[in-house]
Amino acid sequence: MLSNKTIVLGVTGGIAAYKAAELASQLTQAGAAVSVIMTREAVQFVSPVTFRALTGRPVVTEMFDLASEFSIEHVSLARAADVVVVAPATANIIAKLAAGMADDMLCCTVLATKAPVVIAPAMETNMYENQVTQDNLSELKSRDFVVIGPAAGWLASGREGLGRLADVSDILGSIRRVLGRDGDLAGKHIVVTAGGTREPVDPVRYISNRSSGKMGYALAEAARDRGAKVSLITAPVCLNAPVGAEVIRVGTALEMRQAVENLAPRTDALVMAAAVADYRPRSAAGQKIKKGDAPLTLELEGIPDILGTVKGEFVKVGFAAESSNVIENATDKLKQKGLDLIVANDITASDSGFGTDTNQVTIIDKDGGVDSLPLLTKHEVAERILDRVAQLLAARES
């Protein structure tokens, strides 16, 4: 979604300015045209040459730099921008933007643009927590600026606290979310489940499965990028939570079921990408089970099916992880669980299913339509599934 977008990246004078180089690089790699505006102070921290090399485009450092492509008509960048991002944003630029000042190129651009503006504050904790900075940020938020971060952690002052620039991946997520906010899922509440549930055996051990959560997280990100309000109900996984999604962390299948049911009255579409346990130990031991010579038998009991039992008129999408008779088994599941769509994948293929970044799936609908997709990244698969969800939601409204 970033390809062919024009992004103005304002870099101001804080130690986190070096991280803006990574942001500029990632935006450029994603296909965006990135025009960097540096304040006079920012140039003390990072050379404009760095941004010039990373973006392949001129870098604006002076308001009246006649060599710069943009200097003559100083609002041209403001007009061209699909989004303006200020990262890092110091207390000083935040104050200037809140006051509507126009004494440098970045302030002029922000003042002149009609594009959305994303601000990523980074500063020393006391400066951030100072009431005047908080008031300025509130003022910007009330004018529809999107503020991402700051994060907590190690600061250049040698202390720990709030004030670190948000992770570059989170700033990217914020930009994507802003760009997609009028997308085809705007106003819809999409609930996605992800990861493999964990069913406790004792305080140390659990029964789980090999789900990495990647498919569910890709779905949550893609739905967010198309304007949806996203709730991600996730079992434990090693992935960063998508910015802007409501994240509900659960452990067991029963906790996941409760979370799905809690959201059901507000759900427009439920996409169950989670690998939910079908069985759990009948009783989890209160103490760690000690090893002994005798074989150990665990008695398992069945877990109610979430998708098959959740009540509500929303669109229901399931996944079918199959190792044989993929289409037949998936079609049976679609019927048994009363689904609108089921996404079938053959988990025996080495480049599909658990843990991989790619997936080869077949989308089956309740009218018998069978759409076999080629091998795609999980993000591409997510987009294709959401194309179908968007169509189903639109059909319900018409």
- Show which residues are catalytic: 209
Which part of the chain contacts ligand CTP (CB under 6 A), choosing from 21-29, 89-97, 213-221, 271-279?
271-279
* Of positions 165, 307, 364, 393, contacts ligand CTP by CB under 6 A: 307
Look at residues 396, 333, 395 and name the one whose alpha carbon lies nearest to residue 364. Answer: 333
* Of positions 272, 341, 364, 382, contacts ligand CTP by CB under 6 A: 272
Under rule CB under 6 A, residue 334 binds ligand CTP: no
Cβ closer to ligand CTP: 170 or 268? 268
Cβ closer to ligand CTP: 108 or 315? 315
How many residues touch ligand CTP under the rule CB under 6 A: the total is: 14
* Of positions 89, 178, 192, 303, contacts ligand CTP by CB under 6 A: 303
Cβ closer to ligand CTP: 77 or 201? 201
Cβ closer to ligand CTP: 261 or 278? 278
Under rule CB under 6 A, residue 305 binds ligand CTP: yes
Q: Which residues contact 5 (CB under 8 A, 6 or more apart)?
A: 31, 32, 33, 82, 83, 179
Q: Which long-range contacts (CB under 8 A, 24 or more apart) does 63-66 make?
A: 63/104, 63/105, 63/108
- String of contacts with ligand CTP for each residue 207-226, x by CB under 6 A: --------------------
Q: How far is the CB of 261 from ligand CTP (least distance, A)?
A: 12
Q: How far is the CB of 370 from ligand CTP (least distance, A)?
A: 17
- Chain-centroid distance of CA 97 in Å reads 27
Distance from C-alpha of 305 to C-alpha of 270, rounded to nearest angstrom = 14
Which part of the chain contacts ligand CTP (CB under 6 A), choosing from 73-81, 132-140, 318-326, 387-395?
318-326
Under rule CB under 6 A, residue 148 binds ligand CTP: no
Under rule CB under 6 A, residue 89 binds ligand CTP: no
Residues paired with 81 in a beta bridge: none
- Whether 14 contacts 90, CB under 8 Å: yes
Query: Rounded to the nearest 5°, which phi and psi values hold at 62?
Result: -130, 145
Distance from C-alpha of 120 to C-alpha of 98, rounded to nearest angstrom = 14
Distance from C-alpha of 48 to C-alpha of 61, rounded to nearest angstrom = 8
Cβ closer to ligand CTP: 42 or 276? 276
Q: Which residues contact 239 (CB under 8 A, 6 or more apart)?
A: 212, 213, 214, 217
Under rule CB under 6 A, residue 255 binds ligand CTP: no
- The SS3 call for residue 238 is coil
Q: How far is the CB of 352 from ligand CTP (least distance, A)?
A: 14
DSSP 185-202: TTT-EEEEEESB--EESS
Distance from C-alpha of 99 to C-alpha of 206, rounded to nearest angstrom = 55
* Of positions 147, 235, 276, 326, contacts ligand CTP by CB under 6 A: 276
Cβ closer to ligand CTP: 165 or 306? 306
Q: Which residues contact 163 (CB under 8 A, 6 or more apart)?
A: 121, 122, 123, 124, 125, 127, 128, 150, 152, 155
**Which of the 8 DSSP states describes residue 103?**
S
Which part of the chain contacts ligand CTP (CB under 6 A), choosing from 77-85, 124-132, 273-281, 389-397?
273-281
Under rule CB under 6 A, residue 87 binds ligand CTP: no
Under rule CB under 6 A, residue 341 binds ligand CTP: no
Distance from C-alpha of 255 to C-alpha of 148, rounded to nearest angstrom = 30
Cβ closer to ligand CTP: 83 or 363? 363
* Of positions 140, 148, 215, 306, contacts ligand CTP by CB under 6 A: 306
Under rule CB under 6 A, residue 261 binds ligand CTP: no
Under rule CB under 6 A, residue 253 binds ligand CTP: yes
Distance from C-alpha of 35 to C-alpha of 70, rounded to nearest angstrom = 10
Q: Which residues contact 175 (CB under 8 A, 6 or more apart)?
A: 2, 7, 27, 83, 85, 118
Residues near ligand CTP, by CB under 6 A: 253, 272, 274, 276, 278, 303, 305-307, 318-321, 333
